[in-house]
Amino acid sequence: MRVLVTGGAGFIGSHIVTALSKAGHEPVVLDALLPSAHHVAPEVQAVEFLHTDVRDPLAVATALHGVDAVCHQAAMVGLGKDFADAPEYVSCNDLGTAVLLAAMADVGVRRLVLAGSMVVYGEGRYECPASHGVVRPGPRRPEDLAAGRFEPRCPACDTELVPGLVGEDAPADPRNVYASTKLAQEHLAAAWARAVGATAVSLRYHNVYGPGMPRDTPYAGVASLFRSALARGQAPRVFEDGGQRRDFVHVRDVAAANAVALEAADGLPAGALSTYNTGSGEPHTVGDMAVALARACGGPEPVITGEYRLGDVRHVTADSSRLRDELGWRPEVGFAEGMAEFARAEQRASAALR
């Protein structure tokens, strides 16, 4: 299968290219090499490489000729620096997706795997231990965060809630610009699939980490920021109290999930978007991750700062059993093994800051 991998020179995309090549497919990389993601041009593997932007209709249409499927990874990631980043997020993520899908509709490519994200859920699943069962908390109050009260509370009785696993059928509730653009990507993919009778899959990634993450950039994930600090001999600075629950999933497992989803597309319903949570199934706290990395690096112990960002959610860990049950995917890299490897792995050069 000839697969166009948008963003294929990036952190996750490059691992997907490797996984597809090993599985006997023919990946074609399309990447704009934007400065926010690439300080220097990366070394692209020995595959066809198109240096172009997914927002360029003519270039994308040309790239799609002879392609059987698209693995869409091109996106601006992370929370950014402030709301001034919003137009660029919408342009890169949503306009780029719309241009790609329009070209796919015109050329006749009918198989898509999208890099989704668990951030579309906002806060995760919670239960009230008093008497209100499963509830959806509202945004955390600034006065609570400032006072160190980080746990979401029941909207009915103000009792501290108990976190659990969120499933794909949970309502979406994006809490920041990046999350909003990722949800919009899914809506665009669903509309495209219905309009042309195509098959679309969104893999809702959890906190992806591993070799090749960029360093020292506000657009990187927390694992990369901690790893960068340790490389400088500094202690990782952990926001809130470090008790935020996440699912840290290794990039090779995410790449394998993309290959599985592409190969399984023929058996999935046409004319609809299929969503799959893509996580390790081993929730850990941000504090756990910081400690594991610090010890593996032989660096200073993490510092719990109590700082917070209003756009952050407290806990979001999802149930990934649908991906395992329906497509047969299984993660292979455990938390301890993955963090030990990541502590020694090379990182990408710093992305250019604006």
Q: Is the pLDDT of residue 38 over 80?
A: no
Tracing tokens 């996440």 back to the chain, one arrives at 246
Tracing tokens 């070394």 back to the chain, one arrives at 43
Q: What's the pLDDT band for 221 if we cut at 50, 70, 90? A: confident
Question: What pLDDT is recorded for position 36?
Answer: 60
- Two tokens, residue 240: 């809130």
What is the rounded average pLDDT for all residues in the chain?
Answer: 92
Strand order across the 162-166 sheet? 133-135, 125-128, 162-166, 317-318
Of residues 222 and 195, more confidently modeled: 195
Question: What pLDDT is recorded for position 48?
Answer: 92
Residues 6+ apart with CB under 8 A from 321: none
Question: What pLDDT is recorded for position 128?
Answer: 97
Question: What is the pLDDT averaged over residues 294-302?
Answer: 96
Burial class of residue 267 (count of CB atoms within 10 Å of its CB; 0-12, 13-18, 19+): exposed
Question: What pLDDT is recorded for position 269?
Answer: 92
- Two tokens, residue 346: 């090379």
Q: Is the pLDDT of residue 46 over 60?
A: no
Question: What pLDDT is recorded for position 353?
Answer: 39
Q: Is the pLDDT of residue 354 over 50?
A: no
Using alpha carbons, select from 96, 117, 81 the residue that is nearest to residue 34: 96
pLDDT tens digit sequence for 265-291: 889 999 999 999 999 999 999 999 999
Query: Phi/psi of residue 166, each to 5°?
Result: -100, 135
Residue 23 near residue 259 (C-beta atoms within 8 A) = yes
The model's pTM is 0.92
3-state secondary structure of 3: strand
Q: What's the pLDDT band for 175 if we cut at 50, 70, 90? A: confident
The C-alpha atoms of residue 117 and residue 206 are separated, in whole angstroms, by: 6
Q: Is the dihedral of CA 247, 23, 185, 36 positive or negative?
A: positive
- Residues 193, 197, 199, CA angle at the centre, nearest 5°? 55
Question: What is the pLDDT averaged over residues 10-23?
Answer: 96
Of residues 294 and 139, more confidently modeled: 294
Q: Is the pLDDT of residue 218 over 50?
A: yes
Q: What's the pLDDT band for 352 if we cut at 50, 70, 90? A: very low
Q: What is the DSSP string of 232-257?
A: TT---EE-TTS--EE-EEEHHHHHHH
Q: Is the pLDDT of residue 250 over 80?
A: yes
Angle between helix 177-196 and 96-107 (nearest 10): 10
Q: What's the pLDDT band for 40 if we cut at 50, 70, 90? A: low
Question: What is the pLDDT averaged over residues 204-213?
Answer: 94
For residue 140, the cross-strand partners are none
Q: Which range has the top average pLDDT, 42-56, 89-103, 162-176, 220-234?
A: 89-103
